[in-house]
C-alpha cells in the first residue's frame, strides 16, 4: 500500500510504500505432466492450464478465468517445468489499489521456487505483470513487498533501486478506505499517463531526477502538468520521510493531502468518488491527511490518523486499519 509517491517509480523518482498485514499465500504441489490446476478462495472459478512453453501475449491475455493469466506468466518467469496443484488464499481486496496482483505474483514466484535477490524476484514479477496485463507497470509494488521491514515504511529511490526503512511513529494509525469504485489498470488511462511522462522526459530528461521548476519550460500544458506532478511528488516524498522520522504527523498528513490534490489536478487520475472520500476523511477529527493510494482511477484512499480516532465500521465499501509488515517469505 503506497503512503505517498504515485507514478514516480517509472520516472526514476522516489516513493514511500508500506507492506501491510493483509496478504496472499500460495502453495504448490508438483505433479507429473505440464498442467497446473489452481484454486483461490478469492475467485469463484478454478483454473486449469498448461505450462512449459513461452506464453504468447495474445493467448495469455485471452485466458479465462482472468486471474489465471498471472499464474501462467509467473510460472514462465519462474521457469516452472512441471504441472501440479496450486492453492491460493488471500484477504486482500482486488481492484482496490492495494497491490493484490503484485502480492499474488510474489507469492506464486516463491511457491514455484524462484530464487534470487529481492530486486531480481521483483523484476521477474514485474515482467509477469506486464505480460499478463499489457500494462507498462512500474516496480514499486513488487519491490516494496520483497524488501519490507517490520514496523517500517520503505523509502525507495528508483534511480538506484535503494530501499531505506523508515519507522512508522507509534502514535499513528494507517487507515485504508475503499471508495466503492473498483479499478483495473488495463482498462484505465495508466499507459497514456506513462506515455505522457515519456514525452515530457524527451524534452526535460528523466522526470524523477529533475530540479524544482524544471518543468516550467515545457510549452505543452498537459505535459507540463504531468511533469509538475512527478517533480513535486518526489519532493513531497522526501519531506514526508523526514516528517515521519521526526514524528511530525501534522506535516506528514499535510503532504499526503497535497499529494492527492496533485494527482487529481495535474496528473488527472482521481475520480469524484475518491475526491469525495478524501474530503470526508480530512474533515474527520483525528485525521492528519488522506490521499488516493495506488495508480488511481478508483480503488482506495489511505489516511494517516491519530491512533484509535477513526471508526472503520461505518464505511460500507470496506475499510481496514493496517500495520507495517515484514517482507514476503517462504513458510515452513
Helix, strand, coil % in the chain, rounded to nearest 5: 40, 20, 35
Beta-strand relationship, 162-167 and 24-31: unpaired
Q: Where are the alpha helices (DSSP H) in the chain?
A: 57-61, 68-77, 100-111, 118-133, 140-147, 190-204, 221-246, 249-265, 272-282
141 counts as catalytic: yes
How many CB atoms within 10 Å of residue 317?
A: 15
Give the pairing of strands 83-90 and 35-40.
parallel
Dihedrals phi, psi of 303, to nearest 5 degrees? -130, 140
Q: How far apart are the first and last CA of the chain?
A: 26
- CA-CA distance, 180 to 198, in Å (whole number)? 31
- Judged by DSSP in three states, 156 sits in strand
| Cell triple for 216 | 516550467
Given 141, 157, 173, 266, the catalytic residue: 141
HSE-CB at 34 with a 13 A cutoff on CA atoms is 9
Taking the mean position of all CA atoms in its chain, how far away is CA 100?
8
CA distance 167 to 154: 9
Instruction: Give how far Cα 11 sits from Cα of 102, 216, 234, 288, Å.
Output: 19, 18, 10, 28
Catalytic sites, residue numbers: 141
Amino acid at each position: 500500500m503506497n503512503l505517498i509517491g504515485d507514478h514516480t517509480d517509472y520516472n526514476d523518482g522516489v516513493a514511500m510504500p508500506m507492506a501491510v498485514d493483509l496478504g496472499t499465500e500460495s502453495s504448490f504441489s508438483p505433479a507429473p505432466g505440464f498442467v497446473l490446476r489452481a484454486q483461490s478462495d478469492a475467485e469463484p472459478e478454478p483454473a486449469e492450464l498448461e505450462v512449459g512453453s513461452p506464453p504468447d501475449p495474445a493467448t495469455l491475455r485471452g485466458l479465462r478465468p482472468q486471474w489465471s493469466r498471472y499464474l501462467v506468466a509467473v510460472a514462465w518467469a519462474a521457469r516452472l517445468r512441471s504441472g501440479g496443484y496450486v492453492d491460493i488464499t488471500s484477504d486482500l481486496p482486488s481492484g482496490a489499489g492495494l497491490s493484490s496482483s503484485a502480492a499474488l505474483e510474489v507469492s506464486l514466484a516463491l511457491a514455484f521456487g524462484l530464487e534470487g535477490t529481492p530486486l531480481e524476484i521483483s523484476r521477474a514479477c514485474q515482467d509477469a505483470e506486464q505480460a499478463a496485463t499489457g500494462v507498462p507497470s512500474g516496480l514499486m509494488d513488487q519491490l516494496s513487498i520483497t524488501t519490507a521491514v517490520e514496523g517500517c515504511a520503505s523509502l525507495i529511490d528508483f534511480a538506484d533501486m535503494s530501499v531505506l526503512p523508515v519507522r512508522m511513529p507509534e502514535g499513528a494509525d494507517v487507515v485504508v478506505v475503499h471508495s466503492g469504485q473498483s479499478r483495473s489498470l488495463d482498462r484505465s488511462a495508466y499507459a497514456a499517463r506513462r506515455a505522457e511522462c515519456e514525452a515530457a522526459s524527451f524534452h526535460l530528461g528523466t522526470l524523477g531526477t529533475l530540479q524544482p521548476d524544471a518543468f516550467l519550460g515545457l510549452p505543452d500544458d498537459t505535459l507540463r502538468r504531468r511533469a509538475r506532478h512527478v517533480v513535486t511528488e518526489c519532493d513531497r516524498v522526501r519531506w514526508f520521510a523526514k516528517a515521519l522520522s521526526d514524528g511530525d504527523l501534522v506535516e506528514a498528513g499535510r503532504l499526503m493531502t497535497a499529494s492527492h490534490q496533485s494527482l487529481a489536478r495535474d496528473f488527472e487520475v482521481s475520480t469524484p468518488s475518491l475526491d469525495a472520500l478524501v474530503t470526508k476523511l480530512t474533515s474527520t477529527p483525528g485525521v492528519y491527511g488522506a490521499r488516493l493510494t495506488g495508480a488511481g482511477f478508483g480503488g482506495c484512499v489511505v489516511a494517516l490518523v491519530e491512533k484509535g480516532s477513526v471508526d472503520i465500521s461505518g464505511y460500507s465499501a470496506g475499510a481496514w486499519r493496517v500495520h507495517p509488515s515484514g517482507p514476503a517469505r517462504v513458510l515452513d
